[in-house]
Amino acid sequence: MAVNLQIPSLLHPVHGVRLGVAEAAIKKPGRKDLLLIELAPGSRVAGVFTRNAFAAAPVALCRERLAAGRAIRGLLINAGNANAATGAGGLEDARLTTAAAAQALGCEADQVLPFSTGVIGQRLPVQRMKDAIPAAATVLSAGGWLDAMRAIMTTDTVPKGATRRVATSQGEVTVTGIAKGVGMIHPDMATMLAFIATDARLSGPATKRVLTDAVARSFNCVTVDGDTSTNDSCMLLATAQVGSADIDENHADYAVVAAAVEAVCLELAHAVVRDGEGATKFVTVHVGGAATAAEARQVALSVAHSPLVKTALFASDANWGRIVMAIGKAGVTGLQASRVSVALDDVALIDNGEPRPDYREERGAAVVAKPEFAIRIGLGRGDAQTTVWTCDFSYDYVKINAEYRT
């Protein structure tokens, strides 16, 4: 069950965005599993994608169409099938389904971007999707965000959405986003799928910069299991419906809009970890005293990825030996154990490489028994720091993934 994660009851509409969902029976019948998003003319679209060498067909097509500079008018998203490792046929399937979506939206095929999530290695049910697209187009609505966040779920137990409204010199701006992903999550781009929209009049370059910076401080700082999806995609859709002057990096409103986008991304990224497959604990790993930010990240991810650390946390076992093991194996050149400090929340375990004489096992156990806590690490090498967020490994993680295709 998701850790302290509530289902959003309100997601503010974004001027220039309409969403519609339909049933396509992609993996199984009886659920909405296809999402169509329509964007107003003049929208600016940016995306960041997986670095996995087996990047899925929809990722390849998105990259191609964005690189061509086409004015994007729509997005087509399906759950239940990743359309990954499907070769030339998978790419053709993505072209066929986006052509059908374009027809429903009244635009050109290369103005629609495809996104897929689900089982890897299987072809899309193209005809069922083509049959469902007109139904999704019929119900397009500015208020379709709540239905949309449910339609993109796979093994998620809770739909994930976040929303903000901020004042700018050109009027009130809305930022609303949805995401899906609970497993195969590792910071190598973003989560499995995330779509953030704003009606701010961001310029094209500013849209890309805002997204890149926000992802670096949110989705790229979470990990569930250390596995990078073939389909990771995170999109920022700026519809330019508020104001008359483009917002670039020198505009007075840039920082306000960028902060709102980052806040939405961070809330969604945390939601992914809170709903990690089988997760019972939401864990913050903070590393300070590093020589560089990259070094701090190296140590933080070593701890966050360690199956031995994660299983101990599930058992509420304050086995700090596993934490120092993970610090030591991170591969930091010249790391001196005699300078390292470790704490669980405010309970100190080690100071400058020496076990704290006042530490008592029951104090550490009380921290890791909580649903949320922090592992705090000091390296004693400098002033750089970083934070990543992760979860524990439970019996259910194995069960969910062992039965994923059944």
Q: What is the pLDDT of residue 315?
A: 95
How many other CB atoms are found less than 10 A from the CB of residue 47? 26
In this structure, are 174 and 28 located in the same domain?
yes
pLDDT at position 190: 37
Beta bridge partners of 242: 200
Residues 245 and 322 in one domain: no
Residue 5 covered by a domain = no
The pLDDT of residue 189 is: 40
Q: What is the model's pLDDT at position 191?
A: 41
What CATH number did the domain enclosing 35 receive? 3.60.70.12
What gap in Å lies between CA 195 and CA 233, rounded to an integer? 8
Q: Token pair 């086995």 is at which residue?
A: 319
Q: Would you say residue 286 lies in a domain? A: yes
DSSP 112-130: EEEEEEEETT----HHHHH
The length of the chain in residues reads: 406
Contact 256, 168 (CB under 8 A): yes
Q: Which residues contact 88 (CB under 8 A, 6 or more apart)?
A: none
Q: Give the residue numbers marked as catalytic.
A: 191
Evaluate the CA torsion angle 136, 139, 140, 143 in order and state its sign: negative
- List 48's β-bridge partners, or say none: 234
Contact 55, 48 (CB under 8 A): no
Query: Is the domain of 256 the same as that of 302?
Result: no
User: Would 394 be classed as within a structural domain?
Assistant: yes
180 and 135, same structural domain? yes
State the pLDDT at residue 155. Answer: 81
Residue type at position 338: S
Domain count across the chain: 2
- The per-residue pLDDT for 231 is 72
Q: DSSP letter for 54, please.
A: T
Q: Are 142 and 261 part of one and the same domain?
A: yes
Q: Do 364 and 269 fall into the same domain? A: no
Single out the residue in 274, 307, 336 at which a domain terminates: 274
Instruction: Looking at the structure, tell me whether residues 215 and 264 fall in a common domain.
Output: yes
- On the CB side of 310, CA atoms within 13 Å amount to 28
Tell whether 7 is covered by a domain: no
CA pair distance 54, 146, nearest whole angstrom: 31
Q: How many CB atoms lie within 10 A of CB 137?
A: 20
Q: At 42, give phi and psi (nearest 5°).
A: 90, 5
Burial profile 14-37: b = 16 or more Cβ within 10 angstroms, e = fewer:
bbbbbbbbbbbbbbeeebbbbbbb
Domain boundary (257, 274, 291) is at: 274
Tell me the residue range of the domain where 294 lies: 282-402
Judge if 221 and 359 occupy the same domain.
no
Q: What's the predicted TM-score (pTM) here?
A: 0.93
Flag residues of the chain having pLDDT under 50: 189-191
Regarding whether 40 and 21 lie in a shared domain, the answer is yes
**Residues 216, 293 contacting (CB under 8 angstroms):** no
Whether 37 contacts 73, CB under 8 Å: no
Q: Which pLDDT value is given to residue 184?
A: 53
Tokens 């806040």 belong to which residue? Answer: 263
Provide the pLDDT for residue 225: 64
